[in-house]
Homo-oligomer: A and B are copies of this chain.
Amino acid sequence: MPISIVVWAHLDERARQLIRDTLPDEAVHFADRHQPTAIDRQRLAEAEVVFGNLPAKSLPQSPRLRWMQLESVGFEYYQKSPEVTAALKISNLKGMFEWPAAETALAGVLALARGLRKILPAQTEARWIELEVRPETWLLHGKRALVLGAGSIGQRMRLLLEAFECEVHLFARRSPGADVRTREELAAQFAASDLVVCCLPKTPETIGLISRPLLESMRPTAIFVNIGRGAVVDEAALVDVLQQRRIGGAVIDVTLAEPVPPGHPLWQCPNTILTQHTGGGYHDELIDKARLFLKNFARYRKGEPVLNLIDLKQGY
């Protein structure tokens, strides 16, 4: 019996073709996520499996749905959706953004350290600014770093920073690898670090966790990086400490408003790089998402437990 699958995820033709080619014997339907047709709705009503982040309010219209493979790592939206029942298994793309997110965070930190924030705009005007930039450059090597979050991105950040011979501390409530666990320990590490890298998801526990007092306690040369979620940080306080040059700079991938609106102060903050939520991306990401779905579907088909099942009560 073919399994009825609706693909709701944002994919390109190459990724769609891979799914078609890999699952010739299943009943695969690609829905129009922007303007679902009557046929899309009919197939969703019969679907046993959905690949993509179906709106929670649509879930009651899919009574046969047993498994939804998200096209994201984040799942906070489903945590607060009453339509999600215990009968529905939901898995995410955990681990998929480990490398692109960690590389974007490091690209930003090294761009600040090695002066690229000035050099790249100067290059567009063919301006040689060696003597201005060189005395301002600094080294990541040997710095004291605090990584918040022990998920796959946080763990990868730790390993990469250790390659730069940084002293890395890891904050997480429950992960066995963490050495910073309480709010008090967190405050002490914030004040003592050269580099703070936030890799936390948005959960009821993490919203606003990086508060004004924590940001104000940072070293005057310290760099703050957010590759997690914008809501984890008091953004107004972050703008203040940057504008007042109370900290050394920032690399911000995620913000409360995305896109950041044109007049927003973060665009112009000193020593600040806005990476514009490109941290999770790379040119093959859509086909890799399809590959991960197909790998997980193979387990589902054989009756094995799917990987990366999410716990809707999970924090960080």
Contact = CB atoms under 8 A, between A and B. Distances in A.
A24 interface: no
A19 interface: no
Contacts of A124: 121
A117 B135 CA distance: 22
A275 interface: yes
Given A103-B141, A140-B103, A126 B163 contact: no
Given A107-B107, A120-B120, A115 B262 contact: no
Contacts of A263: 126
Contact of A276 (B119, B141, B163): B119
A175 interface: no
A26 B128 CA distance: 40
19 contacts: A99-B141, A100-B137, A103-B110, A103-B113, A103-B141, A103-B164, A107-B111, A107-B113, A110-B110, A115-B275, A119-B274, A119-B276, A123-B273, A126-B264, A128-B260, A133-B281, A135-B283, A136-B283, A163-B163
Given A100-B114, A115-B275, 19 more contacts: A100-B137, A103-B114, A107-B111, A107-B113, A107-B114, A110-B111, A114-B278, A116-B116, A116-B273, A119-B275, A120-B121, A121-B124, A126-B268, A133-B276, A133-B278, A133-B281, A135-B281, A137-B282, A137-B283
